[in-house]
Structure 1
Amino acid sequence: MVMTHYMELLASNQPWNLILFMVIPVGLAEALVATEFFTVYLKDQKESAWRSWNKYLGIVVGFYFTGVFLYLMVNVVPTIEWRGFADVLAVGAYLSGVIPLLSIALLELGVIGKGKSEREHMKLHFILLIGFLVVSHVAMIFGMVDPTITGWNQSQNSGQMMNHGNMDSMHMNK
């Protein structure tokens, strides 16, 4: 079966790529969502432990994913021979996750949104978090699509076949 580069990246160099590019960033983002719920639920307690965890997680996931983004943009994206619309959309959506996640980190550090009230800050945090959830789900959905379904013809593109054992451009230990 032919895969998008998104799925190929996660399937290569097992289990490290899966852990580094999916488990850690998505796990941190899901923890951020959970702490967001508790922060809102316990809003009467201004300095709750949930708010502290939420702030910490927002900073960590923002900078972690920025590192992932930079690594992929330098080491992987330049070597990609695109496999059609689904491939471009999956990789593009995944990489675009850096915008909301880095923005959350900068918001938590006070670099952006300085003059905002607590409520406006929370609203922006929600919007950014929802933005990440949307693009990450688009990446996952289109990443699982067989690129031939969206019109890519493997025989017209340098005969490129999937070979999980020979994915040097996507391995962490180049």
Structure 2
Amino acid sequence: MYFKYLIGKIIILTKKNKRKEHPIIYSLIFLAFFFIIPIQFYFLGDGYGFGIQGFIYRYQITIQGSSLIPISYEVGYIIDGRITGKSIYSIMVWAIGSFLYAIGLLCYLLTFDIKTSKWYKTSMILMLFSLALIVFSIIIQYGPFFVGAAGISIPIGIPLLFGVTCLTFLKRRKINKN
């Protein structure tokens, strides 16, 4: 229900937008990264399996089968004691990064028609900080070069999302100066 409201607001604001900025395109890119596009590809150690991970999900294929694991389940597994070791810290940092990205995304979606850029800057800072947390989470799990005993991580979505976030911020800053 809230998602319909958010999409409706994006469409209304796009129609009202008199500037040469297309916020619906940026909004759809950010929403796609949040819900659909994977942030990292990973291979588990010893050839045990592989998978993809987005902000709010993990899909992995192992010897035991394939599974889609929402981040809420992973946090539940930590609370139940099913996950131990450095994976606890990695998952919690990932969850915090995902939460901060969601807050930054919401601020961005609700303020791209406002001329003052205070909330806009806040949303971009939150989104960039959340990306840093996601990278830190990968480092916790796989090591500083994304390779370790736990396996190999290829964070393909991080550079793409960082680039889109920076370009959006720079374009908005340029438009606000005019």
| TM-score range relative to shorter protein | 0.3 to 0.5
Question: Taking structure 2 as the reference length, what is the TM-score of the superposition?
Answer: 0.42
Per chain length, whose mean CA-contact separation is higher, i.e. which structure has more relative contact order (CA < 8 Å, sep 6+)?
A: 1
